Amino acid sequence: MKYRPGRVHVSRLVGLAAIGLLLMWFAESSRSPAMQRYFIDKMAAATLTDSGIDAVKEARLGLGEPIDVVNDPAETGLIGHEFSLITTSRGSHEQKLRALDPNLSAVFVEQLKRGRVGEGDYVAVAVTGAFPVLNLAVLTAIETLGATPVTITSVGSSMWGANDPDLTWLDMESVLIEEGVLQHRSVAASRGGGDDRGRGLSPEGRALVDSAAVRNGVPLIDEPSLDESIERRMEIYDREAGGEGYVAYVNVGGGLGSTGSSQVYRLLRPGLARNLATKNFPRRGTLVRMAQRGMPVLHIPSADYFIERYDLAAEPSPLPEVGTGGTFYRDRYNVPLAGVLAVLYGFLIFVVVRIDIKHYLFRKPK
């Protein structure tokens, strides 16, 4: 084989570049939506969550309360008031709107599967009133996988959450159970807020939280200190597991009975974690204590991290359809075709740059 003795002419290099762009276009055109893992479970969980949103909306309308279409543009009925007697802290209205997507349940299916949650397992869950759709999405995800959620609720809520005294998260939970969306009720509830016992609420506000627990048949945790409240939560979790133990712990929101302190809440990264037991936290809430037992922890302070990672709607209005977002489908290249095109282009480069084609095309016969 005779190799090129000199430099390649510019016209041939331009032609080679044009062919490269054409082959790249073919490779890009080969992309198509590919179904992601756990698709069936994800669809089932998201569908249940969507049904649950409708059920709570009907319950709110049944109370004779109009939906504020300015602050709740998707008209879900799951955006609460700015202020109420059971509002425990400040809260971002934008964050509450971003947490309304029913497809978040599919995200939590994937996170739980990564944590090896499966049929017959027990999952310890801590929720607050701050993000009712996130609570719903987590619980439907757990039950769709055939696992049993053991839930303790902090009833109080930050702004724009489930802070209507007549429709707390415990009331929503009862509606969801009656409608067949959920199968398991909270096993206990605290007031939430300061010290997990409603510090910061008025006496009337604390009484409203207590009455919500009573009318929904949920035992109330009312210990004299936060440390004792955390200890009481651990006792309840251990009792409810029936000796089976837990495979994971899920925290939704920033309840002090779960996180232990606001500093811990800020230090924790959203998502699934397996190494929290090695960190030196200022107070060890139930979340850290469960991590010390060697189980993975799924921390869900809001929806923001999961929306960005899984390409979900940032502020859904109207609500996205079930089955939309990167957790269900992602574009995938045709890898065999891309490989063939790459080999072809490499061969063309070798031929044009290294082989003296002119020698073979125009040489005189001997």
Predicted pLDDT at 56? 96
Q: pLDDT exceeding 90 applies to what percent of the chain? A: 63
Token pair, residue 277, equals 């037991």
The token pair at 12 is 């041939």
CA distance 323 to 355: 53
Reported as type and span, the H/E element at residue 57 is helix 39-62
Instruction: Please check the confidence at residue 362 and state whether its pLDDT lies above 70.
Output: no
Quote the strand ranges of the chain, DSSP E.
32-35, 87-89, 122-128, 148-154, 157-158, 188-190, 220-221, 248-252, 271-273, 297-300, 329-332
What's the token pair of residue 338? 């891309």
What is the structure's pLDDT at 328?
83
pLDDT of the residue at 340: 79
- Determine if the peptide bond prior to 318 is cis (ω within 30°): yes
Q: Where are the beta strands (DSSP E) in 175-275?
A: 188-190, 220-221, 248-252, 271-273
Q: Where are the domains of the chain?
A: 10-31+333-362, 39-309
What is the per-residue pLDDT across 34-75, written as a single tens digit (0 to 9) for each? Answer: 677 899 999 999 999 999 999 999 999 999 888 889 999 999
